[in-house]
Amino acid sequence: MKISFFIIQYYMQTIGILLARSTYYQTIGFDLYEGLRSGLNHLGKSDIRIISENIGFGADKQQCYRSAERLLLEENASVVIAYIGHRMAQLLRPLFLAANKMLIVLDAGANLPHEWPTCPNIFYHSLHNSLGASLAAKKAINDGYKSAGMVTGYYDGGYLHTYSIAKGFEENGGEIFFNHATGYKSEDFTIEPLKNHLEQFPDCALLSLFSGDFVQWYFEGIQKSFKEQNLPIYLPPFGFEEMMLADTEYPGDNIKGIAAWSKKIKSNENKIFIDAITSTGRTPNLFSLLSWESAEIAIKILDLIQEKNTTAQIASELHSFTFKSPRGKIYFDQKTNTSISPLYNAVLISNDEGKCEIKIESTANNVSEHFEKLINQDLNNSTSAWYNSYACI
Amino acid sequence: METQKKILVLCGGKFAFKALQLLAYEKFICAIGIGKGNYTTIDALERESEENNFGFKSFPDNKSISEMRNWIDTIQPDYIFCISFPFLLTESILSYGQNKFINFHPGPLPQYRGPMPIFEVLKNQENETAICAHFMNTKFDEGNIIFNDPITIETGDTYGKLSVKLSEHMAQVALNMANMLQFANNIPNEPQDETQSYYYEKPDLSDTYINWKRMTAEEIISLINACNPWNNGADATLLGEQIKIISAYLLNEPHENQPGTIVSFTHTLNIACEDNKQIAIEILKTDYGIITASQYMTLNPVMTGILN
């Protein structure tokens, strides 16, 4: 009996998932897991075994490596999905090359790699925070702002979306007049210096990079210190994370930017996703979305493995693979093995209780052209020291 | 956190510099050995090693390899990396420890064994090459493969351009390997598939010579790129003279001439190929030195007469 159990387990297809944790997105691990599980169920693949491993904040090299190693070499996972950054993916690259297995990186897109990856064993499924940041900056220019200040925190400021938002503003004719990076503990978090900055440079747009609790703290600060001034604030996708916004006081009109996804996107795929996640008792968010979508990619890879394709052939097939997701059509950029998805022009509105909601205005134009530009831009020796999976501290 | 692994790197010169820099920055290097190498390179490495407190030893010839085992025993590294080290390591050296020696071969294995895989992949018109990390045994390039890390070959890549690209990529691959050794419980590796294997000897004149009657225009361009700069270009005979073609591009124009004859001269010297295409020569090496196509024309007035 025991032997047959092990035989069945061995022949069952296995997907491994590396789960990160976060002190302010406390459900992130559950969201990632549930997104994948529900996504597989939706695709009629509930028989696939999911094995998870904890990787903490995604910053401990040994923990990440050993977790991935266990999934591949002990659990015989055919595909591994991981919410990690490019640097950690680079660390895992030789393991996946040596084991001849596929890694799907769930990427927040907050960092910019110095060398865009080309490894056939690794595909990046992205929320494109840096790309969104660049487009949000361009939006500020289109709205007539020629001067801006960049506002971020100690944590968010460590990712290269800072470079992307500043470059996006400057390349389109704007000038950054000040930067404000606040602390990452609640007692150190302050936006008071903005008063002085805005007195000196009154017509500045605020190009703002925050995630999780920091978005709440930022908007609270704006409401408290700049009440009814309707400061022009521009946000990238993680500034529009709806689960966090639902508990955030509405700080004022004139807040806009680029969203990766919203519950308000009207499509059959989005409705199915929202219903599926809600039925499990969870709130759909960017993390469950990302892993829900990764189920499609993982199934495609498993099918290609079963057809005895080599890794190079699998990579080549994925380059022409497209699917409809809750946020629209997704496909892979061939040069970087990175998924391209629609991005949305969004504004912040108030709900009946005075909390924040997103209003989707339209689909952003020319996303793939902007991505091409992003991958070709010189980082001018800007570097990030953060290994953490984004929003995981 | 486990103790940082100590790695001794055996290299052949400049090609390994970026890998040495990155491995040193990440504090993996404990010693550097160089095989052959010119005085400038040896001096630079010795100076850097002294400043960083690394062990250092030069191995100028095959005979000096007999001193290697004692040196390794003194250093006591956890692993030994070989990056373009020119000499075969003997059994007595390798007996320092099983799976302790890792070679980084600048070409895909087992298909491209041999000393100059960069030349061979370009000559064979591959779209992709690789850096192969493999455990070492007493034969060149034959140990178990850990991984082949691929890299794209762009149109127009020469031996020089691809070498620079591989040298830069080598740094990250060597660091990835070091991290793997640092964190892994087990290094997956596979014996080489002998049915796929091929050993390319160091190229000689028969490999670098353009055979106008048998080679297509694209094959000729690939050979020219594969010979630039290490061989000062691809060897050829033109107007009865032995020359080397350093730089040329494909001219997709038909002609009615014999392969290997001059069809026309614009700012390039356009030569007929057997597949009814032409190659446009930009730079070549003759007895006069390295010259442009225009200079070649000036030096060969008889030919100008023929063309006029």
Does A61 reach chain B within 8 Å, measured CB to CB? Answer: yes
Residue A351 CA to residue B58 CA, distance in Å, equals 74
What does the pLDDT read at residue B308?
34
Q: What is the DSSP string of B34-91?
A: EES--HHHHHHHHHHHHHHT-EEEEE-SGGGGGGHHHHHHHH--SEEEEES--SPPPH
Q: Which residues in chain A are contacts of B1 at CB distance < 8 A? A: 62
Q: Do A91 and B150 touch (CB under 8 A)?
A: no
Q: Pairing mode, if any, of strands A79-83 and A102-107?
A: parallel
Q: Is there a single domain that holds both residue B227 and residue B146?
A: no
Contact A335, A118 (CB under 8 A): yes
- Domain's final residue, options B196, B213, B235: B196
- Interchain contact, A95 vs B185, CB within 8 Å: no
Hey, how many other C-beta atoms are within 10 angstroms of the C-beta on B94? 19
In which band, very low, low, confident or very high, does the pLDDT at A8 lie, cut at 50, 70 and 90? Answer: low
Asked if A11 and A140 sit in the same domain, the reply is no
The CATH number linked to A252 is 3.40.50.2300
Tell me which of A340, A357, A388 is where a domain ends. Answer: A340
Asked if residues B135 and B144 have their Cβ atoms less than 8 Å apart, the reply is yes
Question: Residue B305's pLDDT band (boundaries 50, 70, 90)?
Answer: very low
Mean pLDDT in residue range B54-78? 96
> Quick one: B176 and B282 in the same domain?
no
Q: Is the peptide bond before B110 cis (omega within 30 degrees of 0)?
A: yes
B249 and B228, same structural domain?
Answer: yes
User: C-alpha distances in angstroms, A113 versus A117, A161, B223, B290?
Assistant: 8, 11, 34, 41
| Per-residue confidence band for A119, with pLDDT thresholds at 50, 70 and 90 | very high
Considering the domain architecture, whether residues B187 and B114 belong to the same structural domain is answered as yes
- Flag whether pLDDT at B307 surpasses 60: no
Chain A CB contacts of B179 under 8 Å are 61, 65, 91, 94
- On average, the pLDDT of chain A sits at 95
Neighbours of B26 (CB within 10 A): 15
Q: Shortest CB distance from B183 goes to which of A65, A90, A312?
A: A65
How many structural domains compose chain A?
A: 2
Strand pairing category for A147-153 and A175-182: parallel
Q: Do A94 and B185 touch (CB under 8 A)?
A: no
Chain A residues touching residue B148 (CB < 8 angstroms): 97
Nearest CB among B147, B173, B183 relative to A66 is that of: B183
Provide φ and ψ at A39, rounded to 5°: -60, -45
User: Residue A389 falls within a domain, yes or no?
Assistant: no
Shared-domain flag, residues A349 and A237:
yes
Residue B78 and residue B183 in one domain: yes
Would the pLDDT of B292 be above 60? yes
pLDDT at B303 over 70: no
Tell me if B170 sits within 8 A of B15, measured CB to CB. yes
Per residue in A196-233, pLDDT tens?
999 999 999 999 999 999 999 999 999 999 988 999 99
Nearest to A65 among B146, B184, B188 (CB): B184
Mean pLDDT over residues A68-91, rounded? 96
The helices-and-strands tally (H runs, E runs) of chain A is 13, 15
Does A316 contact chain B (CB < 8 Å)?
Answer: no
Q: Looking at chain B, how many residues does it have?
A: 308
Q: Are residues A255 and A285 in the same domain?
A: no
Between vectors from CA A200 to CA A197 and to CA A202, what angle results, nearest 5°? 85
Query: Do A184 and A155 meet the contact criterion of CB atoms below 8 Å apart?
Result: yes
Residue with the bigger pLDDT between A63 and B38: it is A63
Quote the minimal CA–CA distance from B145 to chain A in Å.
8
User: Could you give the strand order of the β-sheet that contains A147-153, starting from the edge strand earlier in sequence?
Assistant: A175-182, A147-153, A205-209, A233-235, A255-259, A344-350, A356-363
Tell me, yes or no, whether B221 lies in a domain. yes
* CATH of residue B165: 3.40.50.12230
Amino acid of residue B216: T
Backbone dihedral angles phi then psi of residue A108, each to the nearest 5 degrees: -70, -25
Residue B2 located in a structural domain: no
- Say yes or no for a CB contact (<8 Å) between B186 and A69: yes
What's the confidence (pLDDT) of residue B112?
Answer: 98
Alpha carbons within 13 angstroms on the beta-carbon side of residue A312 total 9
Complex ipTM over 0.90? no
Question: At CA A343, angle to CA A385 and CA A55, rounded to 5?
Answer: 35
> Would you call B291 exposed, middle or buried from its count of C-beta atoms within 10 A (0-12, 13-18, 19+)?
middle
Test mutation, B147, B167, B190, chain A, max A CBs within 10 A: B147
Structure tokens at B228: 């630039």
Interface contact A65, partner B, CB < 8 A: yes
Is residue B166, in this structure, part of any structural domain at all? yes
pLDDT digits (tens, 9 = 90+) for A17-61: 999 999 989 999 999 999 999 999 999 999 999 999 999 999 999
Examine the domain organization and report whether A109 and A254 are in the same domain: no
Confidence of residue B1 (pLDDT cuts 50, 70, 90): low
Report the CATH number at residue B224. Answer: 3.10.25.10
Interface size between A and B, measured as CB pairs under 8 A: 57
CB B75 within 8 A of CB B8: yes
Say if A114 is an interface residue toward chain B (CB within 8 Å).
Answer: no
Residue where a domain terminates, one of B149, B169, B196: B196
Tell me, yes or no, whether A24 and A98 share the same domain. yes
Is B140 found in the same domain as B69?
Answer: yes
In a domain, B41, yes or no: yes
Q: How many residues does chain A have?
A: 393
Residue B134 domain flag: yes
Q: Cβ B188–A118 below 8 Å, yes or no?
A: no
Q: Are residues B154 and B222 in the same domain?
A: no
Domain for residue B216, yes or no?
A: yes
Residue range(s) defining the domain that contains residue B34: 7-196
Amino acid identity of residue A58, one-letter, is G
Q: Are residues B60 and B178 in the same domain?
A: yes
Q: Are residues B235 and B180 in the same domain?
A: no
**Are residues A119 and A53 located together in one domain of the fold?**
yes
* Residue A390 counted as domain residue: no
Amino acid in position A4: S
Helix, strand or coil, per DSSP, at residue B111: coil
What is the rounded distance in angstroms from the CA atom of residue B286 to the CA atom of residue B283? 10
Identify the domain boundary among B179, B196, B213: B196
Q: Give strand pairing partners of B68.
A: none
Q: Do both A237 and A359 map to the same domain?
A: yes
Q: Are B180 and A120 inside 8 Å of each other by CB?
A: no
CB-based contacts of A144, cutoff 8 Å, min separation 6: none
**Judgement on whether residues A206 and A275 belong to the same structural domain of the protein:** no
Please state the φ and ψ torsions of residue A309, each to the nearest 5 degrees.
Answer: -75, 150
Q: Which of A61, A99, A115 sits opposite B188 (nearest CB)?
A: A99
Given a cut of 80, whether residue A361 has pLDDT beyond it is yes
B144: nearest Cα among B88, B191, B194, B94: B191
- Residue A2's pLDDT is 52
Give the residue from B25, B131, B180 with the most A CB atoms within 10 Å of its CB, the best one to mutate.
B180
CA-wise closest residue to B221 among B247, B241, B242: B247
Q: Are residues A348 and A237 in the same domain?
A: yes
Q: Is A50 on the interface with B (CB under 8 A)?
A: no
pLDDT in tens, B125-163: 999 999 999 999 999 999 999 999 999 999 999 999 999
A206 neighbors A231 (Cβ within 8 angstroms):
yes
Q: Is residue A392 part of a domain?
A: no
Taking the CA of residue A256 as centre, how many other CA atoms within 13 Å lie in the half-sphere pointing to its CB?
A: 22
Strands A328-333 and A338-340: antiparallel
Looking at chain B, the whole-number percentage of residues with pLDDT higher than 70 is 97
Q: For residues B159 and B217, state if they share a domain.
A: no
Q: Does residue A303 carry a pLDDT above 90?
A: yes
Res. A187: pLDDT tops 80: yes
Range of the domain at A123: 2-128+266-340
> Do both B233 and B251 map to the same domain?
yes
Same domain for A177 and A206, yes or no, is yes
Q: What is the largest CA-CA distance in chain A?
A: 77
* Rounded Cα gap, residues B113 and A9, in angstroms: 40
Neighbours of B266 (CB within 10 A): 10
Domain count, chain B: 2
Residues A272, A349: one domain?
no
- Report DSSP letters for A203-263, one per residue: T-EEEEE--THHHHHHHHHHHHHSTT----EEE-GGGG-HHHHTTSB---S-EEEEES--T
Q: Grade residue B201 by pLDDT with cuts at 50, 70 and 90.
A: very high
* Residue spans of alpha helices (H) in A100-174: 129-142, 161-171
A357 and A314: one domain?
no
Per-residue pLDDT, A20: 96
pLDDT tens digit sequence for A226-269: 988 999 999 999 999 999 999 999 999 999 999 999 999 999 99
* Beta-bridge mates of residue A345: A258, A362
**Are B256 and B125 in the same domain?**
no
Residues of A in contact with B188 (CB under 8 A): 73, 95, 98-99
Q: Dmax of chain B from CA atoms?
A: 77
**pLDDT tens-digit map of A120-139:** 999 999 999 999 999 999 99
